[in-house]
Structure 1
Amino acid sequence: MNIEQRGKAMNKNMIYKDNSFFYKIPLKRRIKLHIVNDHWIVIKRYFILLRKAEYYGNKKTFMSRIMSFWFTRRKNKLGIKLGFYIPINSTKPGITIWHNGTVVINGDAKVGSGCIFHGNNCIGNNGKSLKAPIIGNNVELGVGASIIGGVKIADNVKIGAGAVVLSSCEEEGVTLVGIPARKVGGEKR
């Protein structure tokens, strides 16, 4: 297997990991979802475009840059319809977005694998500095939850619906709720 084939295989693996619950749905139901153009199908299409834009964007050839531009443009057009803005190379594979509706991630933010977004989420800077959040693996954001500023969130943290995280949480496995978010409990995993 040459380098190009390995790169394409890695890209397919990344695509498979995003919204991976989709592949656990029985084939008959997935076909029905495709026929009716369900929101899960459109979200999956968005992730495919995102990962292809990343794949070609990380290569340095002239043709790859053109391909990255083309996939990024298609991703952004679909993102406008869904309410998503996820820049390339800001998320690791394994992201799940359950619903269409606003999901905005700052281009300087870093989101770990296995993170779950329930919709109407914002990961961004605070407007005073350009520092953006760094989010660990398997973090779950409830509906309307936001993480603002140069904060760090540890692995396996759950952020409740409507919470606004303004300070770092270095403790794994806790739950954050409220405005501003505070720890309400947690268990070590």
Structure 2
Amino acid sequence: MINNKKDYLEYLTRDRIALEIYNQGAVNKIKNLIFPDPVWTFQKRMRQLEYYTNCKNYGLYHFYIYYLKYRYKLISIKLNFTIPINVFGPGLSIVHYGTIIINFTSKIGSNCRIHACVNIGASGGEIQGPQLGDNIYIAPGAKIYGNIWIPNNTAIGANAVVNKSFTKENTIIAGIPAKVIGEVDIKKIIKYI
């Protein structure tokens, strides 16, 4: 969670590296200005809203936070994301825009790489959503729900339905319902960690 300006800048830097947005040199700066990456724009707005909500939630900043929420909602609708603030740690990489739905009680650690058509939420009647560790890869179409825990360095396969907790790190989880199908070196999948 972003608690100060230093955290905010750290989150932005790690997200930019995760998305492979290069801003060095005149050519890259002009390219990013003319053809901005919509996912990077979304993530910058999300981090800005997190910073102001967590650190500057007083006085006249309330009006600015409403403005940031409005802009965040507009780009969320455009990209088809339903992602609340303060869910992801630093190093988030949303690979494609498309349907991504996340429950506000879920927590996902640093260096998460997530694809389209992913749902992460609470299970019928429960309030608490899943808690995912650091260095998590979530393939397209994965459904993760319930008051469950996913350990660090885990890859979740395409269209997996994860509805129970796992304890062993460095594994691949896949299937309906999900089960451990093998081991993985997560650094081969998430190259920026």
Same fold (TM over 0.5): yes
Counterpart position of 1:154: 151
RMSD: 2.1
Alignment of 1:1-189 (within 5 A): 7-20=4-17, 21-24=19-22, 27=25, 28=27, 31-32=30-31, 34-37=33-36, 41-59=37-55, 60-187=57-184
Which consecutive unaligned segments of at least 5 residues does structure 1 have? Answer: 1-5
Structure 1 residues 134, 15: closer, same or farther in 2, change over 3 A? Answer: same
Structure 1 residues 100, 186: closer, same or farther in 2, change over 3 A? Answer: same
Which consecutive unaligned segments of at least 5 residues does structure 2 have? Answer: 187-193
- Distance in 2 separating the partners of 1:63 and 1:90: 25
Structure 1 residues 81, 187: closer, same or farther in 2, change over 3 A? Answer: closer
Taking structure 1 as the reference length, the TM-score comes to 0.86
- Distance in 2 separating the partners of 1:141 and 1:115: 8
1:103 is displaced (CA, Å) by 1.2
Structure 1 residues 53-108: Cα deviation after superposition (integer angstroms, max 9, x where no partner): 11111134122332222212211110101011211111111110010001111100
Identical positions, percent: 31
Structure 1 residues 88, 140: closer, same or farther in 2, change over 3 A? Answer: same
- Distance in 1 separating the partners of 2:50 and 2:32: 27
Identify the structure with bigger relative contact order (alpha carbons < 8 Å, sequence gap 6+): 2
Structure 1 residues 56, 86: closer, same or farther in 2, change over 3 A? Answer: same
